[in-house]
A and B are shown apart, each in its own frame.
Chain A
Amino acid sequence: MSISDREFWTLVHGMGFGALYLLAFAGGVAGLYSLSAKLITPEGVRERVARLRWGAVIMAVLVWMTVIVGTYVVYPWYRHDPTKDAGNAVDVKVQTDALREFPKFWLLASEQTAEWHNFGMEFKEHVAWLAPLLATVVAFGIFRYNGELANYPSARRMLLILFIISFVLAGIAGLLGALITKAAPVL
């Protein structure tokens, strides 16, 4: 039972940083939603805000790491063109075992799998990069408003909405990534 370097980094990107971000979302949204001065004592606000601040920063870092590792480590392996390698005689028009080392070209070699790249990866590689901007804004907002968020429901609601949008965008990218990896893993 062994995994290659490429499989390891794909795991770090998807199941490491990406999955952690999506899992931590539940705690973050519950924390933001319930941060109301009507529901908790001033002591409770202080305790929860401290946790929210840490949580928001960690989540922003996680989503940035997800897109950076995905784009600069895993994506080059996915999109590598075998016709650019000197002496490589792999036929990019037929789905052979040799072509499996080049996932993008393996997917494009058949009409039945081409849309995994033309739609799936083209969507995923771009939509993912919207999530970190929103996660950063949410973390910034939590830091700047601090405990005042408990008394400011409209600001809390805005940050919550941005947080949910960030999760949905990351979720779309994660789902597409999982399906594409199933169809054409980075070996």
Chain B
Amino acid sequence: MPDVRSSLSGNRLLDSISPEEYERLSAHLKRVSLSLSEVLFRPDERISHAYFPTTCIVSLLTELQDGSGMEVGLVGREGVVGISAILGGEETKVATVQAQGEALRIEAGLLREEFQQGGLLQRALLRYTHALMTQISQSVVCNARHNVEGRLARWLLMYLDRSDTNEFELTHEFMANMLGVRRPGVSEIANRLQERGLIRYQRGRVTILSREGLEALVCECYPIVKEKFESFLL
């Protein structure tokens, strides 16, 4: 009964596993509400939980010593936050809730045990890990090569793909980290998209007015990464 299951879970990765696996896993899943700017984990912390977002969106950020940083990945209902729970090794990123909403939470150790059972869950998690690697890799390329408007369009479209609304809170600080610019420069960049009629940006709130317009402006990185996530985002 995949339909019933998907409406229960709301997370695409979990929806791709077998009913038996989901049944077993669901005993350990707890639905939690996550609020804007909540930090799920920081570098070098032992990961206590992994999160399967259903309606929230979580940003993965790599921080520098001076406290500045850059967003390298975005996780929504297509994926899982805290992949190092399965891979082992240290977490090196900061995971911050960027759009408030719900997620299914599981203890890291329990997820690892389920992963080790093999099956569809293991395959889905491995495939997702690789898609996440692609997303981060593309940020390496994008940050070296592409202009800031194209990059902003990319993040906004990534948001849109993971959300049911075309309106998000986007603080200056977060936008600065998304684009790797200083905070005072953020308004000007957002204005450039606003002047083209693509978005409205007011008091830290973005409304997307033209998806087509953003797609025309976005750098090539967006379709490349989207293709890798397609099986999860559909």
Do A and B interact with each other, yes or no?
Answer: no
